[in-house]
Amino acid sequence: MTPTIPDNAPFSREQRSWLNGFLAGLYSVQEVNPATLGFAAPEPTAPAIPVTVLFGSQTGTAEGLAKKTVKQLNTNGFAAEAKALDAVDPADLAATAYLLIITSTYGDGEMPDNAQLFWDALADDGAPRLEQTTFSICALGDSSYPDFCQAGKALDTRLEALGAQRLHPRIDCDIDFEDPFSEWLDSVSEALAEPSGDGALALA
């Protein structure tokens, strides 16, 4: 509200009128210019850090968990995106800083169908070096099979051999996967959020 000079203030009518006009002008300028009121300009926000979440899934379980992962990470301020392993060329991973893989195992210790092409390219001698990539794997399986979680184990070993660094150790989930998956997701979220070391972002 614009202040006015009280009628009993020791000014003549002309002086009071001039002062009231001056105050009205001053306050109208302050209303349109927040800087004159002492408000700081908003800090520019840093762009969200991208996290690639890849899934290998035959019947949808790993895909569902990948979508949950993306949702949690995006809520935490990251720019996460889920894709099937076969939708990605391993050559593109060299530029991927943060990589999470959730994969089941099928057949007798084999990749699910939507991870086979990716695996063939990653296992090839021409696969790129991945020193700039930090990763973690959540493997789904069933311990009644002799090659328990073999697809996740093979991806984990191969990524390490190509020079990628682990953000968090692989977990191997049996048919009751909910709790170990949640623990993995929480640990991975924390590791990504660490302000120093491997972490990517300090969360508020």
Binding site for ligand FMN (CB under 6 A): 57-62, 104-109, 112, 140-142, 145, 147-150
Alpha-carbon distance 198 to 115, whole Å? 27
- Beta strands in the chain, from DSSP E residues, in sequence order: 50-56, 79-84, 98-103, 134-140, 165-166, 171-173
- Least Å distance, CB 47 to ligand FMN, is 32
Separation CA 147–CA 145 (nearest Å): 6
Residue 121, classed as helix, strand or coil, is helix
Query: What's the closest the beta carbon of residue 199 comes to ligand FMN, in angstroms?
Result: 28
- Tokens at 55, concatenated: 């899934």
Q: How far is the CB of 100 from ligand FMN (least distance, A)?
A: 15
Closest CB to ligand FMN among residues 62, 99: 62
CA distance between the termini of the chain:
36
Please, what is the minimum distance in Å from the beta carbon of residue 152 to ligand FMN? 9
Q: Which is nearer to ligand FMN, 105 or 133 (CB)?
A: 105
* Residue 61 CB, nearest approach to ligand FMN (Å): 3
DSSP secondary structure, 139-158, as one string: EE--TTSSSTTHHHHHHHHH
Closer by beta carbon to ligand FMN, 147 or else 194: 147
Residue 34 vs 60, nearer CB to ligand FMN: 60
- Of 85 and 192, the one with the shorter C-beta distance to ligand FMN is 85
